[in-house]
Amino acid sequence: MTISLKAGTKIVVASHNQGKVREINALIEPHGLSAISAGDLGLPEPVEDGETFAANALIKARAAAKASGMLSLSDDSGLAVDALGGDPGIYSARWAGENKDFGLAMRNVEEALQAKNTTNRSAHFVCALCLCTPDGEHEIHEGRVDGQMIWPPRGENGFGYDPAFLPDGYDITFGEMDPDAKHKISHRARAFAMLMDRHFG
């Protein structure tokens, strides 16, 4: 059975991260969809103990769909730095500490790179997007964007590691990009394109 996603559907975004919720809203609104966040509904955050982005996306989407009785959409995304063996990866938020200080997280990545004494600064963002029904039926789409880590960070837009990430083919960071420009090329946008092509293409 295929999940039905059509204009007018209201979905739960399985996240308490307002920056992420804003980006997802901007991506779904053109398709006539509307969203409410798990945070706004007071839903608890599940333990994300998966070993991949896709596994964690499914954990979050399944929990939000079951608790709300609504179709839910989650994304698990993060930064993978090649010279660090793919870290911070699925632990991208943890590198920001308990206070979710991504200034600290970016500094931690830079210090780890300097400790490696490497000139390899290639990195990529990954986004695993999961759409899930209250009975557990789900689909997952993955997007990726490649680039380089830069230091010091530049720009006030976006969130997370955006100011320290220079996407391939651009001379400005995600943190310096106009949000609409970022939405067109980001890992999240690429995962969404797959999802929307499936349901609205």
Residues 201 and 198: their CA atoms lie apart, in Å, by 6
CA 99 to chain centre: 19
Helix or strand (DSSP H, E) at 184: helix 179-185
**DSSP reduced 3-state for 200:** helix
Catalytic residue annotation: 76
- The dihedrals phi and psi of 89, each to the nearest 5 degrees, come to 55, -130
Residues 63 and 56: their CA atoms lie apart, in Å, by 11
- The dihedrals phi and psi of 167, each to the nearest 5 degrees, come to -70, 145
